[in-house]
């Protein structure tokens, strides 16, 4: 029995810690109410009941099997958006969350903010994911309408769905910095998406 304990001790202590998972820094932007906080809460397996809209910014470590995402979520209020660019440094990718059921005025504001981000020197070479959220609402725009949303399409991935596997694919794209435009319309069961929105 003592030999088994020694063998177990050596196995645990002599191998060293498991290799560290690579970490990637992302910035998550979008207007107030677009669902940024809910997205990150879902990715972190937090209760949807504990979601409180972000004022200012927050940082969440989102663990995946092979990587950790350090996501800076920036508040989307008018008085906060002018400071977004101060938080872009060091980002390796961008998630832009769009409320697909928003008013025309809010959609135009979101389009302008997206265009500014796509043109920003610290972000213009990075992969972008536009996540069209709130697809379960009656006023949600169609895939064809969302397809027309960005003014520029180089390096932009779009997800018109509630499928978080698309987000995971985008994350792995960070490794290769794919710069191709895609619209992905993948409607799958609500267990994998935002069934609570």
The binding site comprises 30-37, 54, 76, 133-136
Q: Report the binding-site residues for Mg(2+).
A: 37, 54
Please count the other Cβ atoms lying within 10 Å of the Cβ belonging to residue 194. 21
Alpha carbon distance 26, 23 (integer Å): 10
Write out the two tokens for 96.
Answer: 């832009």
Q: Report the binding-site residues for GTP.
A: 30-37, 76, 133-136
Alpha carbon distance 22, 11 (integer Å): 25
Closest CA to 158 of 127, 134, 188: 127
Alpha carbon distance 68, 90 (integer Å): 15
Write out the two tokens for 3.
Answer: 């030999």
Closest CA to 40 of 172, 167, 173, 175: 167
Contact 73/37 with Cβ under 8 angstroms?
yes
DSSP string, 33-62: TSSHHHHHHHHTT--GGG----SSEEEEEE
DSSP code of residue 158: E
């Amino acid at each position: 029995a003592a030999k088994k304990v020694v063998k177990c001790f050596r196995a645990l202590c002599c191998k060293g810690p498991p290799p560290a998972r690579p970490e990637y820094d992302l910035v998550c932007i979008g207007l107030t109410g677009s669902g940024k906080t809910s997205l990150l809460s879902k990715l972190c397996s937090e209760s949807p009941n504990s979601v409180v809209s972000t004022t200012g910014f927050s940082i969440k470590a989102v663990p995946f099997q092979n990587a950790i995402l350090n996501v800076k979520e920036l508040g989307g209020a008018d008085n906060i958006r002018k400071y977004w660019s101060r938080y872009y440094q060091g980002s390796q990718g961008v998630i832009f969350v769009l409320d697909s059921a928003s008013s025309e005025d809010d959609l135009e504001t979101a389009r302008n903010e997206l265009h500014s981000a796509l043109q920003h020197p610290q972000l213009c070479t990075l992969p972008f994911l536009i996540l069209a959220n709130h697809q379960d609402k009656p006023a949600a725009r169609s895939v064809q309408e969302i397809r027309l949303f960005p003014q520029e399409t180089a390096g932009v991935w779009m997800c018109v769905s509630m499928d978080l596997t698309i987000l995971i694919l985008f994350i792995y794209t960070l490794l290769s910095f794919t710069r191709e435009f895609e619209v992905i319309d993948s409607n799958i069961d609500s267990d994998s998406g935002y069934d609570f929105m």
